[in-house]
Amino acid sequence: MSTSESCKVGASNNYVVCDVNDKLQNMSTADDKDIILSICANCGKEGAKNVCAKCKQVKYCNAVCKKVHKKKHKKQCDEHIRLAAEHAARLLDIELFKQPPPLYEDCPICFLLLPELETGYRYKTCCGKTICSGCVFAPVYDNQGNKVDNEKQNKCEFCRTLAPKSEKEAVKRLNKLMVVGDPIAII
């Protein structure tokens, strides 16, 4: 059974390999359509529309040419499928062994580990930082050493951005963080 046939059957273990293999095949045929004329691999006539079903690299003008050229093309076809499977396996390994983001980070202000309870930290939609409750409620000083009350000014403790004035503005900030790929904003 070939790689493309096993993908059609629905092998659950090979879904990434099949997906990458399909992408590689589509990339190679897209280049052929744009740059090279459709020429039969057997007889050399233009206007070939019959494509090798296995590798999608070679075109033929009809089924007879496809059958005649099959023996010559078999090694090249199998090599292309083998290389595509190796590349897909490398991509799968990269995806599998990628380190996940840490569940609990350090507070960006005091550098202490954030507590596990949700009441121990707050997520800020302005900068996308998670700040511990100690730093949220701690007094903040300006550059001249004067105590600043952030609650009256309604600013973020980390980036000093004003808090959103409406729910619409808060949602807009969350959407910007989701586009960047912030996992907490997505949740």
What pLDDT score does 82 carry? 92
Residue 86 covered by a domain: yes
- 80 and 126: one domain? no
Number of domains in the chain: 2
Residue type, 23: K
Q: Is the pLDDT of residue 13 over 50?
A: no
Q: What is the mean pLDDT of the chain?
A: 77
Q: Is the pLDDT of residue 30 over 70?
A: no
The pLDDT tens digits of the residues spanning 112-171 come to 888 888 888 888 888 888 888 888 777 667 667 777 765 556 788 888 888 888 899 989
User: What dihedral do alpha carbons 108, 110, 113, 117 form, nearest 10°?
Assistant: -90
**One-character DSSP codes across 37-77:** --B-TTT--B---EE-TTTS--EESSHHHHHHHHHHHHHHH
Residue 112 covered by a domain: no
At 86, is the pLDDT very low, low, confident or very high (cuts 50, 70, 90)? Answer: very high
Residue 32 covered by a domain: yes
What pLDDT score does 154 carry? 77
Among candidate residues 58, 57, 59, the one with its CA nearest the CA of residue 47: 59
Tokens found for residue 80: 């292309």
What pLDDT score does 14 carry? 46
What pLDDT score does 138 carry? 73
96 compared with 101, residue with greater pLDDT: 96
Tokens found for residue 98: 């990628």
DSSP 16: H
- 122 and 156: one domain? yes
Quick check: 66 and 52 in contact, CB under 8 A? yes
Residue 109 covered by a domain: no
Output 133-141 pairs: Cβ under 8 A, ≥24 positions apart.
134/107, 134/110, 135/107, 135/109, 135/110
Interacting residues of 183 by C-beta distance below 8 A, sequence separation 6+: 101
What pLDDT score does 87 carry? 92
- 19 and 83: one domain? yes
Percentage of the residues of the chain whose pLDDT score is greater than 90: 5
Which of 66, 96, 126 is the endpoint of a domain?
A: 96
- pTM (2 decimals)? 0.41
What pLDDT score does 168 carry? 92
- 8 and 40: one domain? yes
- 92 and 7: one domain? yes
What pLDDT score does 151 carry? 55
The pLDDT tens digits of the residues spanning 44-67 come to 888 888 888 888 888 998 889 888
- 71 and 151: one domain? no
- 147 and 84: one domain? no
What pLDDT score does 32 carry? 44
Sign for the pseudo-dihedral over CA of 8, 91, 76, 46: positive
Tokens found for residue 56: 């999608």
Q: What is the residue whose two structure tokens read 């121990």?
A: 120
Q: What are phi and psi of 32, to 5 degrees?
A: -65, -40
How far apart (Å, rounded) are the C-alpha atoms in residues 156 and 162?
A: 6
How far apart (Å, rounded) are the C-alpha atoms in residues 149 and 144?
A: 14
Which domain, by its residues, includes 131? 118-186
- 136 and 90: one domain? no
